[in-house]
């Protein structure tokens, strides 16, 4: 498949890219790793007149500790995260989820910023950033905004990002002591996208859960926080019975999707199974 004609420009900095977005308006689209946008253009689902390549902006590509959080640049690739040693002490699910994305080519070029901005309902990162209570930092002509990850995903391929804004950073708070996390997914066997995925972050003391943060992807039209699962864990002894009965609430309140990969009923079942696996792995 061949995309419709487009003009190609390359931005050397975030500010230059914002200027180009302003100049070209609706016709323009940012190009990062291209692993979601180019396939969509080839299928003519997306026909931007101008592509603004932000893939070589070095100020977007980093992972570093800054005070009480880990800062991930929007241009960090999945592979950068999979191989980073910045994610100890409760944030183990970051390199774990990154290593489960697609194949080597996808991980080498695809970026966390591109994935979050694209908001594919089957993408892995949305569950991870929600469960880790991350803040999404975006920049546009009016300056910088910070959006809680829980408010960022607004629907099917929809986010709180405005057309003229760039996702510049993911800010992940350092978890409390005795916190562990894990990501588990039932993957589409060819692409490895999540038919259902769960990110779980559990803080425990003497076998009792003092805090739980659990998020699901692949289940509905956007990733969400599984509050009923969290509430069923908090203050309880983390034995397998408690975990399984909490995980049974993983799809509660979600408009569960049905497609040729999984029916609504099967997906609901998978949500409980994979929530149970992620929580058990974190524990
Ligand atoms: C074969 C295959 C398998 C895959 N498997 C998985 C998988 O298992 N799990 C998974 O989660 N994903 C998977 N993906 C998707 C992959 O992770 C993409 O890399 C990712 O979704 C998009 O990142 P990108 O950098 O390639 O963005 P692009 O494709 O370049 O852009 C995607 C969209 O985001 C916008 N955008 C990009 N960067 C920014 C930014 N910094 N600020 C604002 N907007 C921006 C673009 O304008 C575009 O609309 C797969 C893709 C392929 C092709």
Task: Give, in order, the Cα–Cα distances in Å from 251 to each of 147, 154, 158, 269, 274.
Answer: 24, 17, 20, 9, 11
Domain holding 81, by residue range, is 58-173
- Give percent of the chain above pLDDT 70: 100
Q: Is there a domain that residue 2 lies in?
A: no
Q: Is 143 left (phi over 0), alpha (psi -120 to 50) or beta?
A: left
Q: Which of 62, 73, 93, 114 best tests ligand 1's pocket when mutated (most atoms within 8 Å of CB)? A: 114
Q: Is residue 123 within 6 Å of ligand 1 at its C-beta?
A: yes
For ligand 1, whether the C-beta of 101 sits within 6 Å is yes
* Within a domain: 32: yes
Q: How many domains does the chain have?
A: 3
* pTM (2 d.p.): 0.98
Average pLDDT, the chain: 97
Could you tell me if residue 124 is inside a domain? yes
Can you give the CATH number for the domain in which 38 is found?
3.30.43.10
Q: What is the pLDDT of residue 88?
A: 87
Q: What is the pLDDT of residues 175-201, one digit of tens each?
A: 999 999 999 999 999 999 999 999 999
Domain of 94, CATH number, reads 3.30.465.10
25: which 2 tokens?
């308006």
Give 167 Cα–ligand 1 centroid separation in angstroms: 13
pLDDT at 135 over 90: yes
221 and 251 together in one domain: yes
Cβ of residue 121 lying under 6 Å from some atom of ligand 1 = no
Question: Which of 17, 35, 53 is the last residue in one of the domains?
Answer: 53
DSSP-assigned letters across all residues of 121-161: TT-SHHHHHHHTT-EEEEEETTEEEEEEHHHHEEETTEES-
Distances (CA, A) of 5 to 41, 97, 216: 10, 35, 37
Please say whether the beta carbons of 166 and 30 come within 8 A.
yes
């Amino acid at each position: 498949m061949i995309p419709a004609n487009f003009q190609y420009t390359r931005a050397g900095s975030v500010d230059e890219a914002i200027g180009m977005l302003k100049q070209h308006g609706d016709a323009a689209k940012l190009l990062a790793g291209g692993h979601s946008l180019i396939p969509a253009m080839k299928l003519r689902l997306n026909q931007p007149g101008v592509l603004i390549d932000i893939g070589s902006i070095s100020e977007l590509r980093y992972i570093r500790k800054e005070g009480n959080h880990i800062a991930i640049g929007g241009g960090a690739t999945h592979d950068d995260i999979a191989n980073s040693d910045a994610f100890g002490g409760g944030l183990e699910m970051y390199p774990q989820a990154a290593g489960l994305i697609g194949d080597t080519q996808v991980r080498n070029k695809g970026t966390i910023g591109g994935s979050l901005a694209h908001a594919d309902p089957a993408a892995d990162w949305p569950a991870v950033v929600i469960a880790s209570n991350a803040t999404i930092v975006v920049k546009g002509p009016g300056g910088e905004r910070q959006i809680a990850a829980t408010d960022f995903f607004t629907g099917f391929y929809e986010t709180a990002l405005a057309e003229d804004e760039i996702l510049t950073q993911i800010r992940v708070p350092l978890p409390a002591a005795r916190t562990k996390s894990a990501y588990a997914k039932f993957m589409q066997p060819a692409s490895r996208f999540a038919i259902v995925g769960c990110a779980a972050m559990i803080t425990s003391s003497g076998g009792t859960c003092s805090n739980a943060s659990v998020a699901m992807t692949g289940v509905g039209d956007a990733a969400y926080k599984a509050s009923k699962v969290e509430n069923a864990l908090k203050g309880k002894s983390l034995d397998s019975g408690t975990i399984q009965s909490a995980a049974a609430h993983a799809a509660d309140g979600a408009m569960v999707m049905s497609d040729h990969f999984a029916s609504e009923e099967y997906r609901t079942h998978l949500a409980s199974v994979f929530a149970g696996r992620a929580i058990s792995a974190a524990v």
